[in-house]
Every structure is written in C-alpha cells, then in structure tokens.
C-alpha cells in the first residue's frame, strides 16, 4: 500500500444502518471525497444488528412520526432524558426516511406485533434491505468498502484532533491517515467481559438474539474512550427479548406470554405476565428470566383458548413447534417442569381469574385482571388455563443491544469527557454506539436513530472538509 491508498477524507467504521447512512450522505455532500467503510465481517456476514432486524420504525409513514413521539421518548428515558437528541431525531426522521426510500428501500406496515402500540413502518425485506439498498447507493456514489477489516485504534495530534486510525486487515496491522472518522460499530452486546462488568454477574452468558448482535464487541466505544470521549446512556441497560430456548434461528421471539402464564422450572410464576403491551414488558421480562430464575429459563404455558386467538402465530417467530399435551401432568412430564408445582400454580391462577372472559382482547390492554389474592397478580388477559390441549414454550432472554455508549451532540459529534464537553475534532458517531437510551429502549427507534444520526454524521463530517477546502482556496 502506498501513502495515497492509505489516505482518506473520511473513514466510517461499521456497515450497519448508521455507517451506511453516514457514508452515503458524506459521498453525496462531497462528491470527490475519498471515503472508505471498514467492516470487520465478510461481505456475506456484514450488516451488524441491522441486517437481522425487522427494522420496525416508529412512524405513521415516511412523512409523519408516530403520535406522541417526543412524549414517549421522555417516558422511556426518565429523568436522564436527552431532549435535544430526541427533538433532533423527531425533526429529521421524515426527511431521512424519504431519502432512504429514494435510494430504493420500500416501506410498508409490519405484521409483526399482534397487540396494539404506536404505529410503525418497516422496510420491505427488513433491515437487510436497508443494508443492501444503502450499500449499493454508497458504492455507486464512489464509496470504497473494505471487509474483513477491523478498526483498532484512533490516532490524534497534540491538539486532540483525529489524524488517523489503525486497522487490522488480513491479519496485518496498518495505519490509515484521515482527519475524519465516523464510528458506527454498534454497542458491546457481543463482549462477554464488558457485559459482566456493566450489567452484572451472569450477563456474560446472555444469548445474542442474532448473529449480528454477537459482532458488536464495544471496540468503537473503547477506542473513543481511550482518546478522552465522554460516555452516555445507561451502561447497565440493554434491550432483550424472550426467545425460544430450543431454536438456533435468528431472533426466534415468542411473544404469547401475556395470554397465559409464565413459570420457572419449579412451576412457580414470578412476573405479572399481563402488566402491559408486549413491547412494554418484553425487556424486563426477558431480563428477569435470565437473572432471576435458577435455570435462566422459563416456560410460557397456554391452553386451547389462547390457540384460538386470531393471528396468534404472528406473535411467534420460533421455527420449533410448542410442546403440547392433553393434560397439565403430561405437559409437566414433557417439559421437565415440577408436576406438583405446576398443578398448584395453575389451580391458584384459575381461581383468581374471575373476570368475564368475553372482555378478553389480545390486541389491546383489556383490563381483564386476576383478583388481588394472586401473587404476582396478572393485570390483563387473565383467563383460566383449563382447556386441552395445553402448550408450552421454553423461553430464554436474548440480548439485542446495549444502551451504554458515547455522548454525541445533535450534529453527531463525539463530545469530550470533562467539564466543557467540547467536540473531539474530526470524530463523529451514530447508531447503537451512541448511548442516549436510559430506562428502557424506546420501541422501534434504534434503526430510525441509526439512519437519522448516521446521515447527520456523514453530512457534518464533510461540511468540515468543504469548509477547509474553501478556506484553503481563499488563502491560496
């Protein structure tokens, strides 16, 4: 490699929604710029979490946000809510999705959730179509892609401005010269040591929800911290979902638990299965399965009444059929759940289901609550489990992404740790790598924010190049 081949106007780390949006926006803003996307995975495996994600987006259409968007962002983040960040997201989301659409990605309303919630749209073909659509557009706009290439370390000058990045490619370490880097390399869900350090003992055995989740090992976060970047987001926070313990497929989520009960191996209930709509409970529910059950596994138990719910199959993404039996005893035998424990639990639960089952409505919070004697209570969808066949799904909590990351401003500039929180010259970040999520993951926002702030990062990065070129011309 000669010096020119190792010199770029912009280096983007990561080939997911954030990195590709950054690279494409940068190439459109500065058509002659030398831009490279570094991706540690092969061309066949690239795309990070984005590629495996259904990519639900909290929008009514590409032209309008879901109602109450900003209120819901505040509710999800609590007292540490970063209002500027989410206001910028809200303002830029429609224009960004129209831009993505103009690059060949079509959107439609998803058939994923069976219960109510905010309106969402989804790219046809899921996140994989964002990856292929934006990659092709960026390639056509002149962006270079290096696969099997891992970013290792940022380099700065004496003032702290970015001057380069060290990489490992084909097992060889080398340095690239660049005054601008966009970090879009995801969270640290693929790093067992960081998971244990920040989420607690046992977190290192959390199952990655998809192959893409396992790739993000926090390298970008650590690189930026090493040169003094400020952090953001809840470092003990993660988005996880309950998946079928038997399936080896990507994201075999099972979201039917509100319509039955959930027990541990001893047959004991341990959560209010009906505390809210599934996207309001799945995160802490799957966390409890992992951290609060002895076997780190639970069972969703349903009966024939639940099987009659229209569209129930939409709430199950597992490729493995449930375990089924004509009696609860036989179900206990097939699942290994303690037989007596399950009998006692179901008897107590059924005795507490005194509401009129005609009011049962799987699509909304129906108010069909158990009596207060039941502990833990069941706040909605409380119908007795009494009609054969009885079915069971084994559930484990699987991690999709972490919340802890880098602090960025509304121009996607990475901020410095310390009192002044000024931007690190030449360093930008977008997507999962940036914190900003606190109490719970705002539903259907992770891909949206990756696209919006990826685009902003690419544009802001190149605006500094355009300013520099104009300045040099003026003084030539």
Question: Which of residues 233 and 267 has its CB atom nearest to ligand FAD in the complex?
Answer: 233
Least distance from C-beta 453 to ligand FAD, angstroms? 9
Residue number with CB closer to ligand FAD (137 or 342): 137
Our CB check for ligand FAD shows the closer of 166 and 361 to be: 166
Closest approach of Cβ 180 to ligand FAD, in Å?
A: 16
For residues 216 and 40, give the distance between their C-alpha atoms in angstroms, rounded to a whole number: 10
- How far is it, in rounded angstroms, from Cα 321 to Cα 334? 13
DSSP string, 367-404: --PPPTTSSS---S------SSPEEEEEEEEEEEEE--
Peptide bond between residue 346 and the one before it cis (omega within 30 degrees of 0): no
Dihedral sign, Cα of residue 176, residue 188, residue 135, residue 40: positive
| 293/402 with CB nearer ligand FAD | 402
* Contact footprint for ligand FAD (CB under 6 A): 13-19, 38-41, 46-50, 52-56, 127, 150-151, 184-186, 209-210, 212-213, 215-216, 219-220, 251, 400-401, 431-432, 444-448, 450
Strands 298-302 and 261-263: antiparallel
- Torsion, Cα 100 106 111 115, to 10 degrees, reads 30
User: How many CB atoms lie under 10 A from the CB of residue 166?
Assistant: 15
Name the residue nearer to ligand FAD (CB basis): 165 or 352: 165
Q: Which residue is nearest to ligand FAD (CB)?
A: 16
- Shortest Å distance, C-beta 198 to ligand FAD: 17
Whose tokens are 């080939």? That residue is 15
Q: CB of 338 within 8 A of CB of 266?
A: yes
Least separation in angstroms between CB 252 and ligand FAD: 10
Q: Which is nearer to ligand FAD, 150 or 269 (CB)?
A: 150
Beta carbon of residue 427, minimum distance to ligand FAD (angstroms, whole number):
15
The residue behind tokens 């951290």 is 291
Least spacing, CB of residue 28 vs ligand FAD, in Å? 18
């Amino acid at each position: 490699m000669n010096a020119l081949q190792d010199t770029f106007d912009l280096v983007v780390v990561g080939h997911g929604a954030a990195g590709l949006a950054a690279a494409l926006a940068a190439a459109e803003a500065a058509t002659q710029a030398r831009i490279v996307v570094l991706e540690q995975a092969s061309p066949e495996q690239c795309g990070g979490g984005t590629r495996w994600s259904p990519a639900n987006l909290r929008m009514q259409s590409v032209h309008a946000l879901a109602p109450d968007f900003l209120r819901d962002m505040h509710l999800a983040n609590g007292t540490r809510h970063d209002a500027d960040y989410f206001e910028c997201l809200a303002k830029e989301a429609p224009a960004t999705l129209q831009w993505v659409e103009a690059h060949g990605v079509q959107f439609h309303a998803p058939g994923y959730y069976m219960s109510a919630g905010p309106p969402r749209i989804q790219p046809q073909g899921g996140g994989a179509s964002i990856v292929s659509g934006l990659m092709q557009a960026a390639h056509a706009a002149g962006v270079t892609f290096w696969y099997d290439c891992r970013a290792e370390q940022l380099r700065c000058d004496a003032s702290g401005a970015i001057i380069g990045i060290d990489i490992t490619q084909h097992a060889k370490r080398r340095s690239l010269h660049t005054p601008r880097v966009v970090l879009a390399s995801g969270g640290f869900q693929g790093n067992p040591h960081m998971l244990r350090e920040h989420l607690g003992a046992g977190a290192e055995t959390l199952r990655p929800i998809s192959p893409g989740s396992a790739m993000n090992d926090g390298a970008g976060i650590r690189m930026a911290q090493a040169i003094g970047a400020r952090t953001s987001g809840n470092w003990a926070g993660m988005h996880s979902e309950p998946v079928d313990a038997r399936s080896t497929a990507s994201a075999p989520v099972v979201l039917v638990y509100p319509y039955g009960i959930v027990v541990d191996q001893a047959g004991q209930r341990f959560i209010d299965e009906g505390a809210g709509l599934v996207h309001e409970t799945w995160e802490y529910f799957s966390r409890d399965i992992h951290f609060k059950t002895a076997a780190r596994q639970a069972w969703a138990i349903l009966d024939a009444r639940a099987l009659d719910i229209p569209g129930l199959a939409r709430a199950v993404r597992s490729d493995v059929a449930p375990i089924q039996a004509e009696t609860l005893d036989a179900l206990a035998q097939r699942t290994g759940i303690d037989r007596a424990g399950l009998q006692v639990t179901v008897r107590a639960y059924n005795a507490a289901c005194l509401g009129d089952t005609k009011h049962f409505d799987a699509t909304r919070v129906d108010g069909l609550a158990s009596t207060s004697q039941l502990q833990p209570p069941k706040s909605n969808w409380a119908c007795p489990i009494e009609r054969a066949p009885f079915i069971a799904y084994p559930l484990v909590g699987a991690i999709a992404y972490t919340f802890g990351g880098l602090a960025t401003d509304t121009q996607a500039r990475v901020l410095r740790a310390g009192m002044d929180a000024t931007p690190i010259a030449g360093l930008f970040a977008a997507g999962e790598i940036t914190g900003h999520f606190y109490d719970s993951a705002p539903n259907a926002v992770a891909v949206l924010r990756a696209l919006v702030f990826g685009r902003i990062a690419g544009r802001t990065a190149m605006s500094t190049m355009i300013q520099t070129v104009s300045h040099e011309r003026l003084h030539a």
